Structure 1
Amino acid sequence: MQLVELFQEENCQITFASTAAFSEKTENLQAQNISVKSILLNDASFDDFIKELNPEIVIFDRYITEEQFGWRVSENCPHALKILDTEDLHFLRKAREEAIKNGKPISEANLFSEIAKRELACILRCDLSLIISEYEMELLQNTFKISSELLYYLPFLVEKISKKTPSFEERQNFLAIGNLLHAPNVDSVLQLKALWPEIKKQLPEAELHIYGAYAPQQILQLNNKKEGFILKGWAEHVEAVMKNYRVQLAPLRFGAGLKGKFLDAMHFGLPSVTTKIGAEGMCGNLPFGGAVTTSKEEFIETSLKLYSEEDTWNIAQQNGFKILEKRFQKKLFSEAFKKHISTLLANLEKHRQGNFIGQILQYHTLQSTKYLSKWIAEKNK
């Protein structure tokens, strides 16, 4: 939505094309003057649609979308600027998840996987890839030798920072929040189930409220009012929820990108307790808006301290506001990004000549993916 806003500010006409089904939680894009188009996988109807639309810029939401539609865009709109919005590096998240499952430290995660080959090929085929985390920028350039010309750091953007939020005394209970279709969040809730009894023992009046849509059965069965471990379901308005709680808990063991839950928490004056993975890419050289822990014992101890000590809590809240001001203010990024896109549009051919490996991958992908997709389309008939 922030990307949409940036392009709308440049008076771009935006068409949002998706294979996803609409639901009651779907954003009302038409109300924001955005055309919405349903598209099909492995279907030539997309060719006619994209040829008629003839866009100047095409943004792919995650690498899987580029794999499916990138070759069709290149074939029908060869002069369109192709941008990959990585969201986060999927191969990094998956490698860390596999390491945890196998009882290994994430420092031993195997990054050189099949998913890495696919995702990096997408980055090379596109004219520009948007990277949300500084850690991932460094990883791509240093470990995988991806040219900086193909990457652009664009984190979450915050427009207004209001420091008028409920005080320490006006808040109570612990919060955990996150989409429960997302494996790192499911694992985090399972970790909390094990950590919570010790926190509850020290703070018998406190409760832990867990918000998140699409909870699987293994999470639903953890709901226990007597233990103060309570599942609340989908949070319709994150601001209304976060302003009620005193501390956010997120013992994330794997993941990638930036975690929106921490940005939101800092925005609404809510300190968080997390791990190095959780805080990755968030604070640079600044102190985190809460606590970054390295063991279960430290997680429990810091959670108790933040919940009980008003001075410690106030410092954590102020640290969060500072991070937003110094690292995520929209004005720090928006104009430079728009200028970069304009420069690329004006010099696209030259830019592509500098990425000849990408052209080679594009050529081979056009051949292989194209004919696999055509075969599936024929089979579907």
Structure 2
Amino acid sequence: AVQYLKETIWPLIRKQFPEAVLQISGAYPSQKVLQLHQPKEGFHIMGRANDAQEVVKNARVVLAPLRFGAGIKGKLVEAMQCGTPSVTTNIGAESMHGNLPWSGFIADDSQVFADAAVELYQDKTLWLKAQENGFRIIEKRYLKALFVDDLIQHILKVQNHLKQHRLHNFMGAMLQHHTLTSTKYMSRWIEEKNKKI
């Protein structure tokens, strides 16, 4: 996503908004990512952030041009929690907002993505509406209180019917089998190793 952002989307944003600055934060950036650091082009690889939420709160817009992945994207949830609108792809927003309006824009085309990022950055009314949408998504889809009772009921149900649950838990049985098998072969290896000593 960072490489796609740098090579495809960022030039389109800078063409419209030459003074734009982008900061990429993340622990343990690869050498490939570090090579994308181009301060003269306004593209900064920052490395690990001491306080990720503080970085997101201080950002005007979060850009997440995700082209693969599944489930809830933690950084996009964090952006909504911090009140920072975002621009992402359909894959980025997948399964995250239900039928609620997104906290910013969803665009798969690189030019549309860039246009949306610039518009969201520059239009205060649009930005405030996107921020409000993000807060609404958090309130309607991610509050702990919405799920805690169902989670507790499910845990109690599993506890009360543990044998039945284990009979129908294929993945758990498979993982347990492979764990036991690997332990068996490791113990044989240790026995053989100890014979040679």
Q: Same fold (TM over 0.5)?
A: yes
Residue in 2 that maps onto 1:169: none
> Which residue identity does 2:34 align to in structure 1?
L
Shift of 1:365: 4.0
> Which residue identity does 1:189 align to in structure 2?
V
Residue in 2 that maps onto 1:220: 34
Contact 2:71 2:96 in 1 (8 A): no
Distance (whole Å) between structure 2 residues aligned to residue 205 and residue 366 of structure 1: 55
1:1-381 matches, within 5 Å, as 188-194=1-7, 195-353=9-167, 355=168, 361=174, 365=178, 368-378=181-191
Shift of 1:290: 1.2
Contact 2:61 2:87 in 1 (8 A): yes
Listed as ranges, the gaps of 5+ residues in structure 1 are: 1-187
Distance (whole Å) between structure 2 residues aligned to residue 380 and residue 251 of structure 1: 51
Contact 2:101 2:133 in 1 (8 A): yes
Distance (whole Å) between structure 2 residues aligned to residue 291 and residue 222 of structure 1: 25
TM-score normalised by length of structure 2: 0.88
Contact 2:37 2:45 in 1 (8 A): yes
Q: How big is each residue's C-alpha offset from its partner over 1:68-97, in whole Å with a ceiling of 9 and x where there is no partner? A: xxxxxxxxxxxxxxxxxxxxxxxxxxxxxx
Shift of 1:268: 0.8
C-alpha distance 264-375 of structure 1, shift in aligned 2 (>3 A): same
Tell me which protein shows more helix as a share of its residues. Answer: 2
Q: How big is each residue's C-alpha offset from its partner over 1:244-302, in whole Å with a ceiling of 9 and x where there is no partner? A: 11111111111122111011100111011111111111101111111111211111111
Distance (whole Å) between structure 1 residues aligned to residue 75 and residue 119 of structure 2: 21
Distance (whole Å) between structure 1 residues aligned to residue 80 and residue 176 of structure 2: 45
TM-score normalised by length of structure 1: 0.47
- Percent sequence identity over matched residues? 44
SS at match of 1:214: coil
SS at match of 1:230: strand
Aligned length: 193
C-alpha distance 278-378 of structure 1, shift in aligned 2 (>3 A): farther
SS at match of 1:243: helix
Distance (whole Å) between structure 1 residues aligned to residue 117 and residue 192 of structure 2: 56
Contact 2:20 2:42 in 1 (8 A): yes
> Which residue identity does 1:313 align to in structure 2?
W
Listed as ranges, the gaps of 5+ residues in structure 2 are: none
Shift of 1:320: 0.5
Q: How big is each residue's C-alpha offset from its partner over 1:99-146, in whole Å with a ceiling of 9 and x where there is no partner? A: xxxxxxxxxxxxxxxxxxxxxxxxxxxxxxxxxxxxxxxxxxxxxxxx
